[in-house]
Chain A
Amino acid sequence: MTETAKTPPELEALVADVKPDNADLLAVFHHIQEAYGYVPPEAIPLLAAKLRTTPAKVFGAMSFYSEIRTEPPPRLTISWCSGPACRLKGGENIRRALESILDVELDQSTPDLALGLRLVQCDGTCALAPLVRLNGRPRGPLTVAEAIRLARELREAGGNGRQA
């Protein structure tokens, strides 16, 4: 995913329609992220020129939003829901177990980018609490033991395994 043609022309095409004072920046961040999996640093000066602002302002905006990634994502993202329903039903226990087994903390990835753990916000699928998502697909409700088995299975598969 990260090695797909990261050529400036493609990036320039993505930012082509960006105009100042037109509520375009978040949309273009999303478009770039859909194409690259993250927003590569080369995008920052391009966007600054388009918006007639400084690269610092663009980076400032980019780093403000937790869902805009500045680094390539892992092959498998395990999203841990931080919402209250999950919390009340043992979500914190699941977080501890996942961190321990995967040997990463929240919002970190393994060095080989096989797996990463991410904190996500509640989207109201609380009927499945406590839940995690594997590359977006919800798994829940989970007991801690089930979460541990799942994490061990995913670790063995190195991010290439069964994802749902």
Chain B
Amino acid sequence: MSVYSDLRAKVNKVWQTVETPPRPRIAVGITTCSRAQGADETLAAIRRELAQRKLEADVVVTGCWGLCYAEPMVEVAKPSGQRVLYQQVTADSVPRLIDEGLDGEGVCGVLALAATGATPVQGVPSLESLHIITLQTRRLMANCGVIEPDSIDQYIGRGGYEGLAQALAMPSEAVIKEVTNAGLWGRGGAAFPTGRKWDFLRGSKTQPKYMVCNADEGDPGSFVNRTLMESDPHLIIEGMAIGGHACGASNGFIYIREEYPLCAERMRLAIGQARERGLLGPDVLGSGVAFDLEVVRGAGSYVCGEETGLIASIEDRRGMPKIRPPFPAQAGVFAKPTNVNNVETYANVPLIMRHGAPWYASMGTEKNKGTKMFSLSGHIQRVAVLEVPFGVPLRRLIDACGGLPEGRTLKAIQPGGPLGGIINAQHVDIPLEPEPFREQGALLGSGGLVIIDDTACIVDLCLYFEWFAEDESCGRCTTCHGGTQRMVEILRRIANGAGRSSDKEMLRLLGDTLRWSNCAHGTAAPTVVLNMLDAFPEEYQEHVEGKRCPARQCRGLVRYEISGPSPNLPAAAAICPTAAIVGKDGAYRIDQGLCIKCDACREIAPEAVQVVDALAPSTV
């Protein structure tokens, strides 16, 4: 503990200067989602503007508050204690921000989102009062947006690595007991108790042993792990190091998907800093315990998120899941005992050690302790990452994110990625914990929640998700690659208007068969289709028997028609990629042989272009 105390004492000043900066501190959140919205340009513009005006201020890079819709975000902190978080600060708006927001007690009102400090700011709501924040309990995300992810000092200054120091002072059994008492289970989707999993590895006598972090977050629409890695990388390192001590493993890998280069960059930097401070290496914090880590970058494969597929990928092979047993705790990476946990699972561990199991278990529900991060995307006003205690009703997250687009109604929710299933809107009050989702035949999964409104077609979405499952099937077992392929063929036929009444039985049979696949990819692949048959029977039936797509999304079941005159029709004809809109003497028609149903003409001339049923009696 004394080595840690020394470390902490050295950085106390660092954190104080963040809390009460000696001169204005301008923090720009640089993450994958803010970058996509121009945060790099914002940062450059701030530096340029300050230099030109010869203004004194510190410009730093922070992480993500989870408010993707408000990016790029900039926080201005002043020596007076005034702290204001600004939203949608594009490079163009930087001069205005600096004009109004940097001097004295000035605030740039148009861009201000919230006051982040203890001092109230007139005319600006406090961060805690924002609807999207009020709902949340930010434990895992406590540092997100607040600290500079490239600064180990700030992490330590906020209490970081204290959990590791405490764990190292305890016998490994006691660490595992604490994790078990906290009730922590794996956040990757399988929800297996973490303490028990660690105990398997601890019990193994073979050396070396490996701690592996699954940062492959492959579920499209899920970006909670990315938020943590980009905003607070040391939290994950600390969790893995505690796990290493608990299990007697001295090596670790963080397997990061190809799509997350910034995560890899920040994790690598953080690992290097942790080594320099003796928080990783042959003698962690002078305890005699050895633990070190390295980053492995994936290369584009969904099934590498399955733990044995991930292990195969680390072993320089095709990332194909293996047949179990042996389980990873017996023979994992390079046939050595291995434990694989998700990013968010590891991130919980330092908090448990620092604050104790009772504190941890004070949040959540009877069966599910603690908090969970969720990412909301799709038909939602505000794309965001939120952290809430288990058991909060799903509807409250949707409301906190501003609800659906204007005038639309909720149709479905897709939790847990393409294999997680699809839930009917009538269950929108479902508590966010695994059991109620299982009752609906779906999976809560790793945190992605895709919100779907009434413009979407469930058959079309099923075809899309099933196609994803087919495309990402590794090909090892015929059950999976053949089963998903067959399902896609049937769904495609239905979407093209050639559905048969026998298809329902066939899809159920395939669903039952896929349950016998080797790994979770195949067993979960039919979830979405079975959910459709159970939860959206009318819509399915209308496609098969009525040859109609009520949402007019399935391309084989719709036709584009010119329904009347419009001054916009020449422009619509000009935008058509296939020149399918033929005009003569001011009268236009669509050549159905050329039309690819891309919808561009309807965007341009909505009053004159109609989407009609192709096979059912026409309404035009």
On whether the two chains bind one another, the answer is yes
B300 interface contact, C-beta 8 A: yes
Cα(A25)–Cα(B314), bound, Å = 8
B33 interface contact, C-beta 8 A: yes
Given contacts A100-B577, A125-B33, whether A83 and B221 have CB atoms under 8 Å apart is: yes
Task: Check if B378 sits within 8 Å of A85, measured CB to CB.
Answer: yes
Given contacts A21-B334, A144-B600, whether A127 and B71 have CB atoms under 8 Å apart is: yes
Task: Check if A124 sits within 8 Å of B33, measured CB to CB.
Answer: yes
Task: Check if A68 sits within 8 Å of B603, measured CB to CB.
Answer: no
Task: Check if A84 sits within 8 Å of B600, measured CB to CB.
Answer: no
Q: Which residue on chain A has the smallest CB distance to residue B383? A: A127
List B residues 575-620 near A (Cβ within 8 Å).
575, 577-578, 596-600, 603-604
Interface residue stretch chosen among B137-145, B167-175, B253-261, B437-445? B253-261
Interface size class of A (residues with CB under 8 A): 35 or more
Distance in Å from the Cβ of A14 to the closest Cβ of chain B?
15
Contacts of B456 in A (CB 8 A): 88
Encoded as 1 (CB less than 8 Å from any A CB) or 0, chain B from 50 to 75 comes to 00000000000000000011010000
Distance in Å from the Cβ of A128 to the closest Cβ of chain B?
6
Q: Which residue on chain A has the smallest CB distance to residue B475? A: A64
Given contacts A23-B314, A100-B578, A128-B36, whether A123 and B383 have CB atoms under 8 Å apart is: no
Cα(A93)–Cα(B601), bound, Å = 11
Contacts of B453 in A (CB 8 A): 88
Q: Which residue on chain B has the smallest CB distance to residue A94? A: B598
B318 interface contact, C-beta 8 A: yes
A114 interface contact, C-beta 8 A: no
B379 interface contact, C-beta 8 A: yes
A6 interface contact, C-beta 8 A: no
Task: Check if A23 sits within 8 Å of B294, measured CB to CB.
Answer: yes
Distance in Å from the Cβ of A33 to the closest Cβ of chain B?
9
B377 interface contact, C-beta 8 A: yes
Q: Which residue on chain B has the smallest CB distance to residue A47? A: B316
Contacts of A100 in B (CB 8 A): 577-578, 596, 598
Encoded as 1 (CB less than 8 Å from any A CB) or 0, chain B from 108 to 147 comes to 0000000000000000000000000000000000000000
Encoded as 1 (CB less than 8 Å from any B CB) or 0, chain A from 136 to 152 comes to 00101001110011000
Task: Check if A26 sits within 8 Å of B297, measured CB to CB.
Answer: yes
- Which of B450, B452, B464, B597 lies in contact with A96, CB distance below 8 A? B597
- Which of B299, B452, B597, B599 lies in contact with A68, CB distance below 8 A? B299
A82 interface contact, C-beta 8 A: yes
Contacts of B315 in A (CB 8 A): 21, 23
A120 interface contact, C-beta 8 A: yes
Cα(A127)–Cα(B297), bound, Å = 25
Task: Check if B37 sits within 8 Å of A127, measured CB to CB.
Answer: yes
Given contacts A26-B316, A123-B226, A124-B226, whether A64 and B450 have CB atoms under 8 Å apart is: no
Encoded as 1 (CB less than 8 Å from any B CB) or 0, chain A from 17 to 54 comes to 00011011111011000000000000000000001000
Contacts of B299 in A (CB 8 A): 26, 29-30, 65-68
B82 interface contact, C-beta 8 A: no
List A residues 93-146 near B (Cβ within 8 Å).
93-94, 96-97, 100-101, 120-129, 131, 138, 140, 143-145
* B residues in contact (CB < 8 Å) with A: 32-33, 36-37, 68-69, 71, 218, 220-223, 226, 253, 258-260, 294, 296-302, 313-320, 333-334, 375, 377-379, 383, 414, 418, 450, 452-453, 455-456, 461, 464-465, 468, 474, 575, 577-578, 596-600, 603-604
A158 interface contact, C-beta 8 A: no
* A residues in contact (CB < 8 Å) with B: 20-21, 23-27, 29-30, 51, 57, 60-61, 64-68, 82-85, 87-90, 92-94, 96-97, 100-101, 120-129, 131, 138, 140, 143-145, 148-149
Task: Check if B314 sits within 8 Å of A64, measured CB to CB.
Answer: no
Given contacts A26-B313, A100-B598, A127-B37, whether A84 and B377 have CB atoms under 8 Å apart is: yes
Given contacts A96-B598, A97-B598, A148-B600, whether A129 and B297 have CB atoms under 8 Å apart is: no
Distance in Å from the Cβ of A126 to the closest Cβ of chain B?
4
Q: Max chain B CB contacts within 10 Å: which of A29, A51, A57, A148? A: A148
Task: Check if A61 sits within 8 Å of B317, measured CB to CB.
Answer: yes
Cα(A64)–Cα(B309), bound, Å = 12
Task: Check if A126 sits within 8 Å of B577, measured CB to CB.
Answer: no
Contacts of A144 in B (CB 8 A): 598-600, 603
Distance in Å from the Cβ of A50 to the closest Cβ of chain B?
10
Contacts of B222 in A (CB 8 A): 124
